[in-house]
Amino acid sequence: MTLDPDPIQQAVKTLQAGGIIAYPTEAVFGLGCDPQNLTAVQQLLDIKSRDAGKGLIIIASDISQLQGWVDFKQVKDLQQLVDSWPGPETWLVPALKGVSRLLRGEHDTLAVRVSNHPIVQQLCQQFNGAITSTSANKNGQVAAKEMSTVRQIFNQAVDCYVPGDLSGNHRPSRIRNAVTGQLLRE
């Protein structure tokens, strides 16, 4: 793959080619791929040694990028969900029929978030769609807060490293069930 002087464009090309990217988010570095490319999704799970039963997060730059993934009609308080975005709030929303188990895990819901991180915003806007997001770490290990750590852990297994700073949140995003309203992770 040729190097592009614009790291966002390079990341978008990598996503389009079925590759895996590492990028900064609100609290930790994330790994992502095109959620419609199930080969890439499986590769992402493999390099993390992540149990496919857990599922992944789908992040977007705006709510419209999530329309093909989840059923917002079943959300208990849609206004609360909308008001929490963009931001570090992840919601479990009923997945639309046909959403792969690789994405939703053993659940009928899919974890979704509209990020306020400027790099995530640019990635999703230029990719013209949502991407997967999972913390940049091996299963059971501490999530990386430095790009140098991500490179050390994953080396050539990640196809593109997007430089940038974390937003400064000290903890990963809250997770809330959009049907019941229950807070699952503070």
Sheet holding 174-177, edge to edge: 160-161, 21-24, 29-32, 131-135, 57-60, 109-114, 89-94, 174-177, 183-185
135: β partners: 30
pLDDT of residue 5: 66
What is the pLDDT tens value at each position of the chain, 186 positions in all?
444 569 999 999 999 999 999 999 988 999 999 999 999 999 999 999 999 999 999 999 999 999 999 999 999 899 999 999 999 899 999 999 999 999 999 999 999 999 999 999 999 999 999 999 999 999 889 888 999 999 999 999 999 999 988 887 666 678 888 998 888 766
pLDDT of residue 1: 41
**Residue that is written with structure tokens 């790009």 in the block:** 147
Structural domains in the chain plus CATH codes: 7-185 (3.90.870.10)
pLDDT of residue 186: 65
Euclidean distance between CA atoms 29 and 33, whole angstroms: 14
φ, ψ of residue 141 in degrees (nearest 5) = -95, 165
In angstroms, what CA-CA distances link 11 with 15, 42, 160? 6, 19, 6
59: β partners: 113, 131
